[in-house]
Structure 1
Amino acid sequence: MAATVEILKKMQSKITCSICRGYFCEPVTIGCGHSFCQACLSFSWRIRAPAFSCPECKQVSQDREIPLVNRRLAELTELGKQVSSKLLESTEEQSQCDTHKKPLKHFCEEDLTALCVTCCETPEHGAHKISSIQEAAQKYRRELQHLQIRLGKHLEEDKELHSRMESPTYEWLHLFHHEKSKVHTLLEEEESRSLQRCKQQEKARWKRLKEYGKSLKDLMLELKETRHLLNLDLLQDAKQLLGRCEAVLAQRAQAVIPVLEEYYTPGLIKILYKFKVDLTMDPTSADSSVTVSEDLKSAKAGEGWQVETKFPDDFPRHYVFAKQSFTLGDQYWVVDVTQLSQWTLGIYTPRMRTFEGMEVDSAVILLHCVKKEGEFYLQTYPGSLNHRVKGPLPWIGVYLRDLPATVVFYDVLRCTLIYRFSALIFKGPVTPVFSPGPPLPGTNPGTMTLFPADSHLCACCYSRG
């Protein structure tokens, strides 16, 4: 049996591509004598251009064109695959139970053990789920193949993220610098520290992405190598490999979605208070999924709000407008979202021109908070913000400025910038918008409340209770 397995491995090595670790698919042979799948070689040479070297021996090829398919090697590969399949079947038929000396034709799903027909009748396995070796192997192969597809998709997405990170944009540095410049005398030292921290965080994110990408590649290679395993060997390692795959996939959010860092702007927050306006909500603008309080200062999600709906498609059906609208000047308002896990704040205008020069009808600018698996995420619409936050944000400040038109969101409690929209041109009045949900399953709807214009907010005033 050992000799047969050794012969099988040698035969497979002759018809296996060293790039993808699978059987040749349309094999081509280059000048140095090494062979690869045509698609694998094409991809390898494309990403390594202009050095057209052999992926195996590194010898530089004088020919810059992909060779024609080696038909003889392709036929040999097909023949080898058939022989390998036959050898695997005959080898498994010779495997015997050490106790009863009978062929191992069954598999215990609970103990993950190969069994003979006598083992199946023993009290030890009598109540367990038993299947044939072929059925069990097919089941785990399907699961591993499904995971391989998922890992492959994530690997392609992470390659794209890596390519973006190779030429990083300094959007956050620009936003932070713009806000700090208004109070640069008081905050010059804080700015320097924050810029340094931002670079360190970007470097740390790059490292996390690189490590996550390596984990994906390593698992992809392991999954591809399971093609050549005997059924018994596959079943022995399958559950552990499935567990590692799920563990890596569970790390995706931590690796890919960055944490929204805190860029401290205490002086600016204090300046904005002089632009504070006293808003009230317009109950006639609220749909059936949102209820407004009698004093017009707060709103909550109604019973008809379906938590399954997705943002932003459901937004036009679940909102309430402010009674006040603005055309000129600076306005600032603060909203208490302490009782909410998910919410949306922003502005609405009948017509707007974006910084890209696009004319947009019925335009909204939104900041959306959503909670998934115990983590809070902030998203902007439109915009590029999609970040995790370290915890719930209790008070959100919204600053609206005209000429040049700007909309900025702040974390009032921590005195930090969240996101800034700029270079906008409003073609009509601007109206604040509020959406107090959707509530999470199994929870009671919380209240979204407007702070009065004369309210004083500081950390000592905040209480989670």
Structure 2
Amino acid sequence: MAAAMEKLQREITCAICRSYFSEPVTITCGHSFCRVCLSWSWRVGPTAFSCPECRQVPVVREFPAVNVRLAQLTDLSRELCSLLLQSAEGQHQCGRHKKALKLFCEDDQTPICVRCSQSPEHGAHKLSPVEEAAHNCREKIQHLQSHVGNCLKEAEELLAQEERPTVDWDWMLTGEYNRLHHILMEEQSQCLERMQQEERARQDRLSQHKQTLQDLMQELQEAGDQPNMELLQEVKQLLGRSGSVLSQRAKAVIPELRECPIPGMIQMLSQFRVDITMVPTSASPFLTISEDKRSVKAEEGWQLETNHPEDDIHHYVFAEQAFNSGRQYWEVDVTQLSQWILGIHTPYLRKKRGRNVDSCASMFLLCCVKKEEDYYLQTHPGSLDHRVKGPVLRVGVYLEYSSGTLAFYNVLQSSLIYGFSLILFTAPVTPIFCPGPPLPGAKAGPMTLCPVDSHLCACCYSCL
């Protein structure tokens, strides 16, 4: 009986609104719909006059008249379904009292019998006759159906708009990336041109310094051949000129680190920022780590025992985190330090020697050393030993494990300091830190790991 009722209901139900037919119309393909539903479908549909169910287009494109016989059949079927439903409901009985379920508990949302309504369980609940509750339920369903229909119509309209977009975002975004690429290429060209000009100027300075030394050598040779009195009369000026020439040697011979800002580089690397903390047990007696494990400070009385920083590993602080994949970026504040060392440590590093591969412990370091009034940046291993115009206040470190890349950046200038490449890592890589050695008589401050969400620029350090 239930299957027959469902089949009957399907035959008198509109495929568009999913309700009983209202003024049904039948088109040439044999499908029937509500008159209002078919009119709405033909008005907003992608193909006019096509059947909403089978998508066939009738030969005669006229709106069909109301199918009176189907309308009458719908009314009779609705009454029959209602009677069958009431009969089926009458067969339902309360499982406890074996009485007909004539009431509906609004609080529990369940049908009950009269005796159940008199029990304390439902005494304070709102009760309604089953017919009234079913009528209210159908009204709610119809209201919800109308609302869903409106939402469906809205979704179809939005989908149609997406299929025919008014703005070509693909073209616009591609243009923006092309424009950015063009700007970066211009920046690259200008940066390379500045580097070439600086290289030519350095070569000119070295050539001039060489010529000055040659002239001084010639003058010294000639002075050595002069008679005693003439030599003694000119020796004061000669020694003064010699001292002046030799004092310029360091600035002429030792290269100065080039400053090549790369727009947007630090912002791009910041998407790989990682939160790093220090291992307190890795500190030497001359180092003190803060309680939050984000800064380390050197105490007095500590000096490097060798000229090779990689050999003095017991003065380094290790990070609690180690990396064996992906990309990582962290920043370190060294504002209050004159000398410092940053880098990474890996337990086993593959080194190629011909066809053989050896394994050994290794570190890759960037060191800042102060000599008199000048600051120098050095790498171990590596060939960097350059003078900088002033102290570097904030250093960014970028690690890319798969490609074996390690790069150091001057964050405030957004410029590259030095980069290692093609490192063949075979084990996890651990960041390491060293706030020293402190200069004699100088009070060194802490080396601090910058928070992940910190984004500072040069103006933030203008008061230092």
TM-score, normalising length: structure 2? 0.58
Superposed, 1:92-107 pairs within 5 Å as none
Over 4 Å off, 4+ runs: 354-358
> Does 2:394 match 1:383?
no
Amino acid aligned to 2:338: S
Shift of 1:421: 0.5
Q: Match for residue 404 of structure 1?
A: 403
Shift of 1:226: 2.8
Task: Give, in whole Å, the separation in 2 of the partners of 1:420 and 1:393.
Answer: 16
Q: Deviations over 1:196-218 (max 9, x none)?
A: 11110000000011011111111
Q: Is the 8 A contact 1:343 1:438 kept in 2?
A: yes
> Does 2:425 match 1:429?
no
Question: CA 1:238–1:309 in 2, change beyond 3 Å: closer, same or farther?
Answer: farther
Shift of 1:232: 2.1
Task: Give, in whole Å, the separation in 1 of the partners of 2:345 and 2:399.
Answer: 11
Question: CA 1:338–1:305 in 2, change beyond 3 Å: closer, same or farther?
Answer: same
Shift of 1:383: 1.0
Task: Give, in whole Å, the separation in 1 of the partners of 2:245 and 2:303.
Answer: 32
Shift of 1:399: 0.2
Q: Which deviates more from structure 2 when the two are superposed, residues 227-236 or residues 272-281?
A: 227-236
Question: CA 1:314–1:274 in 2, change beyond 3 Å: closer, same or farther?
Answer: same
Question: CA 1:425–1:414 in 2, change beyond 3 Å: closer, same or farther?
Answer: same
Amino acid aligned to 1:451: C
Shift of 1:427: 1.7
Shift of 1:352: 1.4
SS class of match (1:425): coil
Q: Once the two structures are aligned, what percentage of the paired residues are identical?
A: 56
Question: CA 1:247–1:311 in 2, change beyond 3 Å: closer, same or farther?
Answer: farther
Question: CA 1:356–1:450 in 2, change beyond 3 Å: closer, same or farther?
Answer: farther
> Does 2:448 match 1:449?
yes
> Does 2:282 match 1:285?
yes
> Does 2:186 match 1:189?
yes
Task: Give, in whole Å, the separation in 1 of the partners of 2:311 and 2:299.
Answer: 14
Q: Is the 8 A contact 2:334 2:448 kept in 1?
A: yes
SS class of match (1:255): helix
Q: Deviations over 1:255-279 (max 9, x none)?
A: 1112212111132211111111111
SS class of match (1:258): coil
Shift of 1:463: 4.2
Amino acid aligned to 1:459: A
Q: Deviations over 1:277-327 (max 9, x none)?
A: 111111211112222111111111122312785342663242111111111
Q: Deviations over 1:104-152 (max 9, x none)?
A: xxxxxxxxxxxxxxxxxxxxxxxxxxxxxxxxxxxxxxxxxxxxxxxxx
Task: Give, in whole Å, the separation in 1 of the partners of 2:463 and 2:338.
Answer: 13
Q: Is the 8 A contact 1:439 1:446 kept in 2?
A: no
Task: Give, in whole Å, the separation in 1 of the partners of 2:220 and 2:359.
Answer: 48
Aligned pairs, number:
284
Q: Is the 8 A contact 1:277 1:332 kept in 2?
A: yes
Q: Match for residue 417 of structure 1?
A: 416
Amino acid aligned to 2:263: P
Q: Match for residue 220 of structure 2?
A: 223
Question: CA 1:308–1:216 in 2, change beyond 3 Å: closer, same or farther?
Answer: farther
Q: Is the 8 A contact 1:307 1:441 kept in 2?
A: no
Q: Match for residue 275 of structure 1?
A: 272
Amino acid aligned to 1:231: N
Q: Deviations over 1:66-99 (max 9, x none)?
A: xxxxxxxxxxxxxxxxxxxxxxxxxxxxxxxxxx
Task: Give, in whole Å, the separation in 1 of the partners of 2:305 and 2:220.
Answer: 35
Question: CA 1:247–1:354 in 2, change beyond 3 Å: closer, same or farther?
Answer: farther
RMSD: 2.1
Q: Match for residue 440 of structure 1?
A: 439
Q: Match for residue 83 of structure 2?
A: none
Q: Which protein shows a greater Rg?
A: 2
Question: CA 1:394–1:187 in 2, change beyond 3 Å: closer, same or farther?
Answer: same
Shift of 1:239: 2.3
Amino acid aligned to 1:399: Y
Q: Match for residue 394 of structure 1?
A: 393
Q: Deviations over 1:169-228 (max 9, x none)?
A: xxxxxxxxxxxx9x7444122111111111100000000110111111111112222332
Task: Give, in whole Å, the separation in 1 of the partners of 2:313 and 2:236.
Answer: 46
Shift of 1:351: 1.6
Q: Is the 8 A contact 1:395 1:411 kept in 2?
A: yes
Q: Match for residue 246 of structure 1?
A: 243
> Does 2:204 match 1:207?
yes
